[in-house]
Amino acid sequence: MAEKVSPTRLQLLAIKTQIALAQQGRDLLKEKHKAMMQELMGAAAVLIEKGEALERSAAVARRALALADAFDGDQAVNSASFAARGEASIAIDRGHVMGVPVPKFEHKNFSRSLVARGYSLIGTSARIDDVARRFEEELNVVVEVAEREATLRRLAAEIQRTSRRVNALEQVTLPRLLAQSRLIGMILEEREREDLFRLKRVKQKIYQRK
């Protein structure tokens, strides 16, 4: 159903004001979109670096585990792993990137001292200690990667929302307002011509009577 428009000069002024605001909003959203895209590319680059660091850390940890299995045996490694105690507590706070809320993971360094790990130091070798240290280092990197991935997802989602808003303004709101403005302008021009024509006829009648 077509939207009813009151063809008055006041309504035309109101629509022109809406057009100006819509154009301003569109331009601001485009600037925001561009800035967020730059931020997204930077975050993606950091995530790639962190991902590569995680792969290296995981490879080192797996090699340490393989060496411990080979020299100390599965039983010794499993015994130490079962005896190890501790928890990986992570507090999730909220930060902002370009006004977009993103999660911030707060945690203590997961790397621990030999005593803090909980297994018997007498019954384990330096290789098993190295396994524990390497996997603790890997866990630190895992948390960093998870935080970066969450930030990247939030930025990507906000970029999509901003794109939809820009498209709505450019493809729906502005064309509708511009069409209304043109329609009212045409109606007012036609009224002016009719008023001018009637005025001329009145003048002619007055002249004829004289």
Taking the model in full, what pTM does it have?
A: 0.74
The answer as to whether 146 is a domain residue is yes
Q: Where are the beta strands (DSSP E) in the chain?
A: 91-97, 100-106
**Domain of residue 23, CATH code:** 1.10.287.3240
CB–CB of 84/110 below 8 Å? Answer: no
The pLDDT score that the predictor gives to residue 184 is 92
Nearest C-alpha neighbor of 54 from the set 133, 145, 152, 120 = 145
Q: 169-205: per-residue pLDDT in tens?
A: 999 999 999 999 999 999 998 888 887 877 777 777 7
Neighbours of 140 (CB within 10 A): 18
- Of the pLDDT bands very low, low, confident and very high (cuts 50, 70, 90), residue 104 is confident
The answer as to whether 104 is a domain residue is yes
The answer as to whether 194 is a domain residue is no
CB–CB of 98/32 below 8 Å? Answer: yes
Residue 104, helix vs strand vs coil: strand
The pLDDT score that the predictor gives to residue 1 is 38
- For 58, half-sphere exposure in the C-beta direction (CA atoms, 13 angstrom radius) is 9
* Mean pLDDT lowest among 21-30, 56-65, 97-106, 125-134: 97-106
The answer as to whether 196 is a domain residue is no
Residues near 32 by Cβ (< 8 Å), separated by ≥ 6?
A: 98, 162
The residue range of the domain holding 111 is 9-187
The count of structural domains within the chain is 1
The answer as to whether 123 is a domain residue is yes
The answer as to whether 200 is a domain residue is no
The pLDDT score that the predictor gives to residue 169 is 96
CB–CB of 131/94 below 8 Å? Answer: no
CB–CB of 94/101 below 8 Å? Answer: yes
The pLDDT score that the predictor gives to residue 5 is 67
The answer as to whether 209 is a domain residue is no
105, two tokens: 């993971």
Residues near 3 by Cβ (< 8 Å), separated by ≥ 6?
A: 176, 180
Average pLDDT over residues 10-21: 94
The answer as to whether 193 is a domain residue is no
- Of the pLDDT bands very low, low, confident and very high (cuts 50, 70, 90), residue 12 is very high
